[in-house]
Amino acid sequence: MPGEKAVLRPRRSREEWLQAALEVLSRRGGARIRVRDLCTELGVTTGSFYAHFDGRDDFIRSVARYWQRCFTTDIIEMIRDAPGDPESRLLALAEGIIEQDLGRYDVPVRAWAAQEPAVAAIVGRVDRDRLRALRDLLTESGLRGAELEMTARTFITYYGLELSILVRQSKRERLAEARRRIDMFLRPVASQSTKTGAPRGR
């Protein structure tokens, strides 16, 4: 009603601030991550922001570290602790990325990193951690050398950029293809085994 004051929501948690920043980043880009705009979006005052962060630089690093933890560190630990052989764990990783849209912030965060050196440093650590985890998993599958490196980088690049491809597929289609894609990634191992055991041609 006219004359009524806007009702502010209770102070938001630190995680709500970080998640809201990622959502703004994905929709509008890093230049639009402003404290006042986020306060309006969350329905809080700047006091809520300063209850959790020391300032803009602290906030930027916190958002990037939150993305690192939720979309890389936690996932790596989950896959390492998962039961099953390397192929089933690799498939579980691919399906998890698709089902939970785990790559949805990769492109926006990488674009943001071009503007913010602190974000770029964290993105670099994420890339190294992802590559190390994929190398370990693929080594268990039998890949070695150049094939190992190429497959690890192909997996990471595909699932990090898939959602930015203009010709989109439904989640159902992507899940249906996940098994075939993992077979494709691991085909060199199968090919080598077949080649080793196959009889020579006539």
| Confidence at residue 41, expressed as pLDDT on a 0 to 100 scale | 82
Q: What is the pLDDT of residues 187-197, one digit of tens each?
A: 754 444 444 44
CA-based radius of gyration for the chain: 21
- Say if pTM beats, i.e. exceeds, 0.85: no
Per-residue model confidence as pLDDT tens digits over 156-181:
998 988 888 767 788 888 888 888 88
pLDDT over 60 at 19, yes or no: yes
Q: Check whether 58 has a pLDDT greater than 80.
A: yes
In three-state secondary structure terms, 72 is helix
